[in-house]
Amino acid sequence: MKYLKSNIKFLVLLSVLGLVAGNAHAQPNTMYYMKNISQTWEMNPANTGIESGWHFSMPGFSSLDLTMNTNGWKYSDLIHQGTGQYADSLIVDLDKFYNKLDDSNFMYEKTNYSFLTIGFRTGKHVFNLALTEKEFANAFFGNNLVALVKNGNAPYLGSSFNTGSFGLNGIHYRELALGYAYDLNKKVTLGMTAKILFGMGAAQSKDINMSVQAPGDASYLTVEGAGQLNVSGPFQFYSSPDGLIDSVASNFDGSYMTNTGNMGFAVDLGAVFKPTDKVTLSASIIDLGSIGWKTDVTNLTLNGQFTYNGVNIDNSLNKNDPNYKSPSDAFSNLGDSIKHAFSIDNTNNTFNTAIPVKVYIGGSYQVKPNIEVGGLARARIYNSQASLSFTASGNAYIRDFFNVSASYSIIEGSYANLGLGLGLRGGPVQFYMVTDNVLSAVNPANASSLNLRLGLNFLIGYNKDKNRGPI
């Protein structure tokens, strides 16, 4: 069929873009050494932040954390400005995109919003409490899937082709965290945070892959799929008499945000060691835990096949054509075929999802009473993949009202990451804003890592003599 090759490219490209478009690195590494910002305890519970008094925030003024990273590829690797006769247009460059990929690839995004944080120090003891809404999504795919898009089905005529594993894991949950730090002596501080997790919604894919077979005349494609998708949330899946998915409905209401049926637990552990007055070493492991999903659970199994005969979109290009047919209608039959390849496992088995684990190892040196330099290595471990970053930073403090951090980071093979952190205090109010990649704000299409953390704290009983001295 004459539309087969072009449309299979279009179809799979849409699948790849759909997989990653809604998904976009943990909170900025630059923030780790901003010692006058109390939220540093979230990266290491032994990093107590402000050394005296109380700190708190409230809804509407609390912390917001937006992050995204890939394993090195960028938006501009796939879509960029053309050259020559295409200089005035954006082009899809599949060759460049494919050449930037590894065998296994991912795109990770996270959004955290703290409703309330509160903490205080009494002697050698520091207590922190936070209530935070969190969500993350991790899309992953192999370069074989992109190869099928790039090459079409021509190289595989008369044979079969496997896309490799791909899928999407994501959860939305609420976290109640209680942190405690103790100054064991003048050199050692130990910290731990216990977290109760309330799961709202989740999607967990397992071993999803497709095998594509094409006859020698390219008249059709046979697509076979295998894998599993576990879902917890306000979704209702309706099946046909033979057990295949017929339709899906959603029902979001107030009960979704108040759901306490999916409980989990996580813990943070941290330590800070000062071998000398000027040298500080630290390490932490964050979010070691999981959530068990028990409510509104559906188990979907992909274990079937469908035949793709191509899609004629000639009547979908011009809306003024009297025979115009919308693209959604043109692809509706194909969507039904794909949907019916999934069956519903009526066992409704519960499942567990891990939280991405973060490991921080750092060291800093006090050049002057108000100036420090530091280095930090961080690993985020999730779905059997480790995302690595390394950050060098310089940190300066001007009396008790202003601190600034400048950093340079290597994140997943990306070297163009200049970071900046600012903290400003006026009376009892403190504002902070941090990012690891300032340049991403200027040219986000060329960034493989984006993050921004900002918030507003209120300080009570703050004693500047116990914090950073004058410049």
**CATH code, domain with 379:** 2.40.160.40
Quick one: which of 126, 35, 106, 70 has its CA closest to 389?
70
Q: Is 336 inside any structural domain?
A: yes
Q: Is 119 inside any structural domain?
A: yes
Q: Is 471 inside any structural domain?
A: no
Domain residue limits at 250: 4-466
Q: CA 306 to CA 337: how far, in whole Å? A: 6
Asked if the model's pLDDT at residue 419 lies above 70, the reply is: yes
* pTM, to two decimals: 0.81
Asked if the model's pLDDT at residue 172 lies above 70, the reply is: yes
Question: Residue 264's pLDDT is what?
Answer: 97
Q: CA 14 to CA 454: how far, in whole Å? A: 34
Q: CA 238 to CA 399: how far, in whole Å? A: 64
Q: Which helix (H) or strand (E) holds 210?
A: strand 188-214
Contact 118, 129 (CB under 8 A): yes
Q: CA 321 to CA 310: how far, in whole Å? A: 21
17-76 pLDDT, tens digit each: 333 333 334 568 999 998 788 899 999 999 987 777 888 887 777 888 988 888 888 888
The number of domains in the chain is 1
Q: CA 193 to CA 51: how far, in whole Å? A: 18
88-124 pLDDT, tens digit each: 777 778 888 889 898 888 888 899 999 889 999 998 9
**Cα dihedral: 15, 19, 20, 22 (round 10):** 120
For residue 190, count other CB atoms closer than 10 A to its CB.
16
Q: Is 299 inside any structural domain?
A: yes
DSSP 8-state class, residue 39: G
Question: Residue 3's pLDDT is what?
Answer: 36
Strand-pair category, 235-239 with 297-308: unpaired
Tokens of 26: 């943990």
Q: Which helix (H) or strand (E) holds 242?
A: none
Quick one: which of 415, 421, 424, 416 has its CA closest to 374?
421
DSSP 8-state class, residue 157: B
155-170 pLDDT, tens digit each: 767 777 787 888 889 9
Strand-pair category, 125-142 with 167-183: antiparallel
